[in-house]
């Protein structure tokens, strides 16, 4: 096929894919933006907007509360309040629709990167397939909850995915990341800082230095512009996870959230020791896996592993923080030629589509099944994150390792271009 003809042939399919996504997202947007109760309308987006308003008016950033009945505080670093300033440019009901459109656009982009090997199989029809995948993705519970609350997770995931999967402009090889996207994401919401641990373990010192330096720069600038707010955040608000809401509720699916529901009292030494051991165990398993995937030139899988790691070890990981799951499904699926990977990807998508944590909470309240079973279902997103790490190791990391070892044994001089450093 002539290269000049390719965009013309792909254009209509691309447009059709966008329309498929729009048609799928519209009922969800209508439900949460038109028929939803006003007191629950875009409550997290309201937090961002009020944070920006506090910057403009001089109101103490970490003293603000949104209007009743939510009374939600601003829980992000001061830099996040500056990034929210564009939310003041239009009435709130307009911003809600715009922000929903932005989330759908970022989902479209994320699907295009995370599912690229699979989409490449469809040539000029890839736009339609991309639209179908995104249309299904918007109904995954974490993504739908992002629309419901007006959340920022789509931005965080997209920034990290863009950063880590970037390719060199010179030869098109994968460079392992630039660090800037992760830096901005971390300056807005601290959990992407786990990528710094990955880059340290993978010995990507230049990327690590760029990322840490960029995050430090915007944080210092924010401190000079908002010194009292910055002092309050870094010495007080950051250290109080209860500002985020009840940590022991079903919504918190991090390891700490599970431990709050199942373990000893949270003010006991036993709780602290168990929590630290769980975090160390996850890091000890996940960071070498991410390093291996980095060496194998699997950047989407790297993002999937680090995203799941951040989800598990964060003190608070709400259901909608599992937006990383879109990347996990794409990494597991690969090009769609391995039936095992297809089966696991589909199963993972189904589990994120149904409301398993809330099913577990209802089972627990109804006493219809053994308490153990109800608890397993209630904590399903934490299990999903752990099992996704296992799937990425078994289906993405192990098979290429065997192939790479065989190739190294026969043709050591033919190392694939663009793989990360092995130092």
Tell me the C-alpha to C-alpha distance, in Å, between residue 331 and each of 11, 91, 146: 26, 39, 21
* 38 exposure class (CB count in 10 Å sphere: 0-12, 13-18, 19+): exposed
Q: How many CB atoms lie within 10 A of CB 310?
A: 26
Helix orientation angle between 269-295 and 194-201, rounded to the nearest 10 degrees: 50
Task: Give yes or no for a contact between 138 and 104, defined as CB atoms under 8 angstroms apart.
Answer: yes
Neighbour-count burial for 215-252, b at 16+ CB within 10 Å, e otherwise: beebbeebbeebeebbebbeeebeeeeeeeeebeebbb
Per-residue pLDDT of the chain (423 residues; tens, 9 = 90+): 445 456 678 888 999 999 999 999 999 999 999 999 988 999 999 999 999 999 999 999 999 999 888 889 999 999 999 999 999 999 999 999 999 999 999 999 999 999 999 999 999 999 999 999 999 999 999 999 999 999 999 999 999 999 999 876 655 666 667 899 999 999 999 999 999 999 999 999 999 999 999 999 999 999 999 999 999 999 988 888 777 778 899 999 999 999 999 989 988 999 999 999 999 999 999 999 999 999 999 999 999 999 999 999 999 999 999 999 999 999 999 999 999 999 999 999 999 999 999 999 999 888 888 999 999 999 999 999 999 999 999 999 986 444 444 344 333 333 333 333 333
Is 55:81 a contact under the CB 8 Å cutoff? yes
Structure tokens at 322: 């599992």
What residues does each domain of the chain span? 248-397
pLDDT for the residue numbered 4: 47
Dump the DSSP string for 143-158.
HHHHHHHT-SHHHHHH
pLDDT at 418: 35
pLDDT of residue 191: 95
Hey, which residues does 167 pair with through a beta bridge?
A: 174
Burial class (CB within 10 angstroms; exposed 0-12, middle 13-18, buried 19+) of 96: buried
Q: DSSP assignment, residue 321?
A: G
Predicted local confidence at residue 3, as pLDDT: 52
Q: What is the DSSP letter of 315?
A: S
How far is it, in rounded angstroms, from Cα 192 to Cα 183? Answer: 8
């Amino acid at each position: 096929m002539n290269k000049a003809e390719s965009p013309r042939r792909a254009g209509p399919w691309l447009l059709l894919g966008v329309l498929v996504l729009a048609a799928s997202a519209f009922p969800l947007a209508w439900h949460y933006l038109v028929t939803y109760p006003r007191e629950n309308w875009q409550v997290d987006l309201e937090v961002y907007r009020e944070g920006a308003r506090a910057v403009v008016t001089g109101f103490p950033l970490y003293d603000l509360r949104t209007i009743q009945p939510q009374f939600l505080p601003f829980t992000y670093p001061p830099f996040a309040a500056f990034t929210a300033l564009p939310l003041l440019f239009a009435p709130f009901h307009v911003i809600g629709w715009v922000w929903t459109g932005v989330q759908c656009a970022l989902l479209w982009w994320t699907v295009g990167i995370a599912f690229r090997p699979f989409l490449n199989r469809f040539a000029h029809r890839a736009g339609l397939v991309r639209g179908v995948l995104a249309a299904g993705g918007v109904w995954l519970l974490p993504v739908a909850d992002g629309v419901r609350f007006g959340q920022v997770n789509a931005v965080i995931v997209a920034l990290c995915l863009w950063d880590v999967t970037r390719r060199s402009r010179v030869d098109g090889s994968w460079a392992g990341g630039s660090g800037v996207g992760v830096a901005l994401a971390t300056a807005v919401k601290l959990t992407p800082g786990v990528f710094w641990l990955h880059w340290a373990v993978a010995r990507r010192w230049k990327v690590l230095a760029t990322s840490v330096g960029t995050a430090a720069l915007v944080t210092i600038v924010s401190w000079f512009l908002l010194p009292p707010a910055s002092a309050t955040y870094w010495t007080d608000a950051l250290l109080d996870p209860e500002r985020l809401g009840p940590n022991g509720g079903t919504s918190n699916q991090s390891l700490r959230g599970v431990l709050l529901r199942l373990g000893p009292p949270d003010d006991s030494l036993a709780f602290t020791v168990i929590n630290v051991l769980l975090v160390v165990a996850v890091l000890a398993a996940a960071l070498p896996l991410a390093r291996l995937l980095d060496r194998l030139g699997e950047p989407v899988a790297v993002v999937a592993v680090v995203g799941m790691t951040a989800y598990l070890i964060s003190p608070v990981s709400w259901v909608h923080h599992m937006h990383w799951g879109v990347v996990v499904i794409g990494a597991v699926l690969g090009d769609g030629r391995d039936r095992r990977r297809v089966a696991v990807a589909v199963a993972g998508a189904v589990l994120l589509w149904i409301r398993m944590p809330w099913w577990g909470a209802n089972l627990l309240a109804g006493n219809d099944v053994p308490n153990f079973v109800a608890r397993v279902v209630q904590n399903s997103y934490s299990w999903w994150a752990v099992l996704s790490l296992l799937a990425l190791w078994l289906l993405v990391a192990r098979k290429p390792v065997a192939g790479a070892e065989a190739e190294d044994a026969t043709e050591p001089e033919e190392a694939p271009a663009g793989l990360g450093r092995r130092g």
